[in-house]
């Protein structure tokens, strides 16, 4: 076994200062700084303590008032965008609450599966997952996004 000749060994230098410094002796014991002490156990607080399902967590962030606001403004934007599409397109209809929640779930699912950078055509295609086409059509998804 080789023992170092020096008590402190220095690593590669960057801008004149060593980037690593090793010692043959352990550092002297010292008191933990107050900023590193957590005075309470981390976790949910308030109403979030009583949450038991993922749907309840979703409802904490997106309550009925927020969903209704998103729904109203989405339908206003759809009314503006309808002029750019033909009169008989099925995917330009107004959004209802269940479809809006399904759309949020679809966005969440793409993030969980790390598909959020994948082409929409691939996700709804033959080699993509069938769940996307089961939730809504490609045209409707593209229109809503």
Which pLDDT does position 6 carry in this prediction?
59
Which pLDDT does position 54 carry in this prediction?
87
For residue 21, CA distances in Å to 2, 25, 27 come to 18, 12, 12
Length of the chain in residues, anyone? 145
DSSP state of 33: P
Residue 57 near residue 66, CB atoms below 8 Å: no
For residue 1, CA distances in Å to 35, 128, 143 come to 41, 57, 69
Percentages helix, strand, coil for the chain (3-state, rounded to 5) are: 50, 5, 40
Which pLDDT does position 66 carry in this prediction?
95
Which pLDDT does position 5 carry in this prediction?
61
Tokens describing residue 114: 């790390």
Which pLDDT does position 129 carry in this prediction?
81
Distance CA 76, CA 112 (A): 30
Which pLDDT does position 75 carry in this prediction?
94
DSSP-assigned letters across all residues of 60-89: HHS-HHHHHHHHHHHHHHHHHHGGGS-TT-
For residue 27, CA distances in Å to 17, 22, 30 come to 20, 10, 9
Which pLDDT does position 3 carry in this prediction?
60
Using alpha carbons only, give the angle 98, 57, 137 rounded to the nearest 5 degrees: 30
pLDDT tens digits for the chain (145 residues)? 566 565 666 666 777 776 777 777 887 888 988 898 888 888 888 999 999 998 899 899 899 999 999 999 999 999 888 888 877 778 888 999 999 999 999 999 999 989 888 888 888 888 778 888 899 999 899 989 8
Which pLDDT does position 2 carry in this prediction?
60
């Amino acid at each position: 076994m080789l023992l170092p000749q020096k008590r402190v060994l220095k690593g590669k230098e960057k801008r004149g200062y060593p980037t690593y410094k090793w010692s043959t002796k352990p550092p002297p014991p010292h008191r933990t700084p107050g900023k590193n002490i957590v005075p309470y156990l981390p976790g949910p607080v308030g109403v979030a303590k009583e949450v038991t399902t993922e749907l309840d967590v979703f409802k904490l962030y997106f309550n009925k008032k927020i969903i209704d606001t998103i729904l109203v403004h989405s339908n206003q934007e759809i009314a503006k965008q309808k002029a750019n599409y033909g009169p008989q397109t099925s995917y330009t209809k107004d959004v209802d609450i269940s479809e809006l929640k399904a759309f949020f779930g679809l966005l969440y699912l793409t993030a969980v599966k790390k598909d959020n950078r994948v082409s929409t055509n691939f996700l709804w295609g033959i080699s993509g997952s069938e769940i996307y086409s089961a939730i809504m059509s490609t045209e409707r998804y593209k229109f809503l996004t």
